[in-house]
Amino acid sequence: MKNFTTLNDVFYYANRAYGSKEMFFGKDVGKNFISRTFSDIFHKAENLALSLLQMGIQPGDRIGLMADNRTEWAIADIATLLNGAINVPRGSDSTPQEIEYILSHSESKYCFVEHEKLYDSLKPILSNTKVEKVIILDPGFRSKDTLAVSMETLINEGETLRKNLPSLELRSKQVKPDDLFTIIYTSGTTGMPKGVMLTHQNMVYNVVKVPPRVGLKSSDRTLSILPVWHIFERAIDYAIIAEGASIAYTNIRDLRDDFQKIKPSFMASAPRLWENLYQGIKQKLEKAPENKRKLFDFAYDICKKFKDGQDYLAGNKLQTKEESPFERAKNTAVSLGYVLNLFLLSKVLDGLVFSKIRDVLGGHLTGTISGGGALPAHVDEFFNVIGIPVYEGYGMTECAPIISVRSVGNVVQGSVGKWPEGTIVKVVNDQGESVPKGKMGIIHIKGPQVMKGYYKNEEATSKAIQDGWMNTGDLGFISFNDTLSVRGRVKDTIVLLGGENVEPVPIENLLLENALINQVIVVGQDQKSLTALIWPDKERMKEAGLNPKEGEDLNQNKEIRLYYQNIVKKQISSENGFKSFEKLTDFRFLPKAMEVGDELTNLFKMKRNVIHDKYKDLIKSMYV
C-alpha cells in the first residue's frame, strides 16, 4: 500500500513513478484530444507555484478556483497545494452573487478564473472581496488591467524561477496531514452554502482506500464528466494520479463520440448519466424489429437469472432479514440450478447481445462508480446484467466524500457496499441508540475522512459532529451481510397531517421507471395526503399517441391527465408494496423542466425547498 500522508506526496510520487506517461487528455478547439504527460503537467504546476511564491502567497492562504473540466484546472490545483495554500473551487456557471459570497466568506487572496467572459462578469463584485489578483486559465488571455494576469504568463515566468525549487519543495514538505487543502462550499439543497474544511488526511485516506476496492489500476483509461471542482470527481482524479491511470475530460455533448475515441475502461459519474444511458438504450430497443426485441428480452431474462444465482452463492444478495436454515438451503439449491444450467447459454447470449451494447460505450468499460445520489434500482440491475458492474458509492462533501462503496466481487444491489477499513458506521434511532441490523435509522460515521468542520461556523460544526461522530442526516440500515443501504434524507421525510412519516425518494424512483416521466417530486408536508409535481417526456408522449400542443397547459388536457393518472396508480400501488398513505391522491404537470442552477444542484439533486417555494401555488391547488 502506498505511503502517502499529504496530497503533495501523491504528486511527487506520480512524477517519479509515471512522469513520462500520457495521463491527461484535454481538447483543442477542434474537439481533438491532446495528450500530456504527468511530468509536463507537474512541471507547469511547479512553474506556476514558483510564480505564486514570488507574488507572496503564504501557506494557509485561500485561493479561489472558478473553472471547469480542463487540464489547466489540474495545474492550478497542484500549484496551490504545493505552496501549502488552500483552494476554494466552484464551477464557471456559478452566479456572480454566489462567487462574491464564497470569495468574501473565505477571504480569498487570489482567484483563478476560467476565461475573460467570466472575469468581466465578476469585475463589479471583486471590489467587495479581498482578492488581490485574478489569474485567467485561458491561454489566449491578454490582460487589459493590472488586476488580471494570464496563467500562461505566470507559468512562463516560473521557468526563470526554477532556481527557487528547493524553497518550494521545502514548503511543500512542511505541509501536515491535518492542514487544509480545500474549502468546498456546498451547493446544497437548503439555505446558504457552508464552507466544508477538508484536510490532506481526509482526501489521502480515500485516495489510498478506494482504488483497490473498485479495481482502479495504472492501465485504466477514464472519462471525466462530473464537475472537476466537485469533491467526488476530485477524489477520483487524485486516485487516478496516485495509480498512474489516465484521464480524459469530456462533457455531455461529446460523450457519445468520446466513448469511441477514448474507449474508457473505468468511469465515475452521478446516477443521472447512467439513467440517461439506460433510457437511450431502451429507446433504441423499442424501435428495433420485433425479433431483436424478443432476443434481447430472452437474453436479459436468462442472464439475470444466472447473475442472481451467482450473486446469491457469493453472498452478494441484499439480506434485509436473517435467513432460516430452510430458506438458505432452498435459495442455495435454486441458485445452484441457475448457475449450472444457464452458464453456457448466458455466455453465448452475452456475446451475441450485450457485447454490442458494451461496444456503444467503447467496448472496454469494466467498472463504473456511481455517486452523488441514489442509483435507481432498475438502472442498477440493467448495467450489472449486461456486464458493466456498477460500484455504487455513498458519501458526502463532509467526508471527502467516500463513506462506503461496493467493491470488486462484492456488488450487492440495493446497497452502497461496505465501508473501508478505518471507518466506523453506526445506525441510530431518534434517541441516539444504535439499532439492530435491518432496522432503519440515521447513519453516523467516524473515520479519517470526516471533515475538520465548517469554515467560520462552529455552531453548524457542533451540530454535525459530536464526539467524533458525523451525523450524515441520511436514513438507512446495515444489512445482515454487513453492507450499508441508504434510503433517503431525514430532512426529506414528509410528515402527513395524520402523523405518518413517508420517504419520498422510493416513490419518486418508481415513478421515474416509467419512460413517460422525466422528473418528479413528491410533496405533502402537513397535508392529509401525498401529491406530486411531474415533468413529462414529451417525445415519449407522442410515441404513446398523446399529442400535446406547443405551449399547452397539460393540466387542462383531460386525455393526458387520465393517461398519467393510470401510470401513477399502477406504479404506486399496493401490489408494489405501498401503504395507503403512501399513494398519491393528485398530481400537477410542471410548466417547465427543473434545471441545474435553479431547482437542481450540479449533481442533479432536487432543491426541495426551492421547488416548494417556487411552485407553492401549484402545490396549493392540489389541496383546495
Three-state DSSP class for residue 425? strand
What's the pLDDT score for residue 187?
A: 62
Closest C-alpha among 191, 9, 193, 203 to residue 99: 193
Strands 133-136 and 110-113: parallel
Domain assignment present for residue 556? The answer is: yes
Domain assignment present for residue 143? The answer is: yes
Distance CA 522, CA 66 (A): 34
| Residues 117 and 238 grouped into a single domain | yes
Domain assignment present for residue 419? The answer is: yes
| Residues 228 and 95 grouped into a single domain | yes
Domain assignment present for residue 377? The answer is: yes
The string of DSSP codes covering 8-66 is HHHHHHHHHHHTTSEEEEEE-TTS-EEEEEHHHHHHHHHHHHHHHHHHT--TT-EEEEE
Long-range pairs, 139-145, Cβ under 8 A, ≥24: 139/72, 141/115, 141/116
Average pLDDT over residues 325-337: 96
In the chain, pLDDT over 70 holds for what percent of residues? 99
DSSP letter assigned to residue 188: -
To the nearest 10°, report the CA torsion of 391, 395, 397, 400.
-70
DSSP letter assigned to residue 352: I
> Domain boundary at 351, 369, 385, which?
385
> Domain boundary at 489, 516, 551, which?
489
Domain assignment present for residue 189? The answer is: no
| Residues 150 and 64 grouped into a single domain | yes
Q: Determine if the peptide bond prior to 89 is cis (ω within 30°).
A: no
Closest C-alpha among 49, 152, 177, 200 to residue 110: 49
**pLDDT tens-place string over residues 115-139:** 999 999 999 999 999 999 999 999 8
Distance CA 352, CA 358 (A): 11
Domain assignment present for residue 184? The answer is: no
| Residues 242 and 312 grouped into a single domain | no
424, 450 contact by CB (below 8 A): no
Distance CA 228, CA 266 (A): 16
* Angle ∠(399,400,401) on CA atoms, nearest 5: 75
Strands 22-27 and 33-37: antiparallel
Distance CA 516, CA 283 (A): 12
What nine digits make up the cell of 320?
434485509
What nine digits make up the cell of 597?
442552477
The partner residues of 501 in beta bridges, in order of sequence, read 495
Domain assignment present for residue 209? The answer is: no
| Residues 37 and 157 grouped into a single domain | yes
Closest C-alpha among 333, 278, 275 to residue 309: 333
Domain count, the chain: 4
**pLDDT tens-place string over residues 478-514:** 999 999 999 877 778 887 877 777 889 889 999 999 9
**pLDDT tens-place string over residues 351-401:** 999 999 999 999 999 999 999 888 889 999 999 999 999 999 999 999 999
State which residues form the domain around 119. 7-175+215-250
What nine digits make up the cell of 133?
489578483
| Residues 485 and 506 grouped into a single domain | no
The partner residues of 428 in beta bridges, in order of sequence, read 434, 442
What's the pLDDT score for residue 1?
A: 59
Taking phi over 0 as left and psi of -120 to 50 as alpha, with beta for the rest, 5 belongs to: alpha
User: Which position has the higher pLDDT, 143 or 183?
Assistant: 183
| Residues 538 and 414 grouped into a single domain | no
Closest C-alpha among 70, 75, 117 to residue 96: 117
| Residues 70 and 121 grouped into a single domain | yes
Burial of 581 per CB tally in 10 Å (0-12, 13-18, 19+): middle
Distance CA 533, CA 519 (A): 8
Distance CA 381, CA 404 (A): 19
594, 532 contact by CB (below 8 A): no
Amino acid (1-letter code) at residue 442: I
Indicate the length of the chain as a whole number: 624
| Residues 445 and 341 grouped into a single domain | no
DSSP letter assigned to residue 91: -
Q: How many CA atoms lie within 13 A of 382 on its CB side?
A: 19
- Phi first, then psi, for residue 404 (nearest 5°) are -150, 160
Domain assignment present for residue 195? The answer is: no
Three-state DSSP class for residue 138? coil
User: Which position has the higher pLDDT, 189 or 327?
Assistant: 327
Distance CA 323, CA 334 (A): 15
| pLDDT band per the 50, 70, 90 thresholds, residue 191 | low
Angle, helices 271-287 vs 290-313, to 10°: value is 140
Long-range pairs, 502-509, Cβ under 8 A, ≥24: 502/530, 502/581, 502/582, 503/475, 504/530, 505/374, 507/532, 507/572, 507/578, 507/582, 507/584, 508/532, 509/374, 509/376, 509/377
Distance CA 59, CA 421 (A): 31
> Domain boundary at 332, 360, 385, which?
385
| Residues 68 and 169 grouped into a single domain | yes
| Residues 366 and 431 grouped into a single domain | no
Q: Determine if the peptide bond prior to 401 is cis (ω within 30°).
A: yes
**pLDDT tens-place string over residues 562-616:** 999 999 999 999 888 888 889 999 999 999 999 988 898 877 888 888 898 899 9
What's the pLDDT score for residue 189?
A: 43
What is the distance in angstroms between the CA of the first residue and the CA of the last residue of the chain? 63
Q: How many CA atoms lie within 13 A of 211 on its CB side?
A: 24
What's the pLDDT score for residue 190?
A: 46
Task: Residue 413: give its domain's CATH number.
Answer: 2.30.38.10
What nine digits make up the cell of 472?
450524515
User: Which position has the higher pLDDT, 142 or 438?
Assistant: 438
What's the pLDDT score for residue 451?
A: 98
**pLDDT tens-place string over residues 28-81:** 888 899 999 999 999 999 999 999 999 999 999 999 999 999 999 999 999 999
| Residues 514 and 586 grouped into a single domain | yes
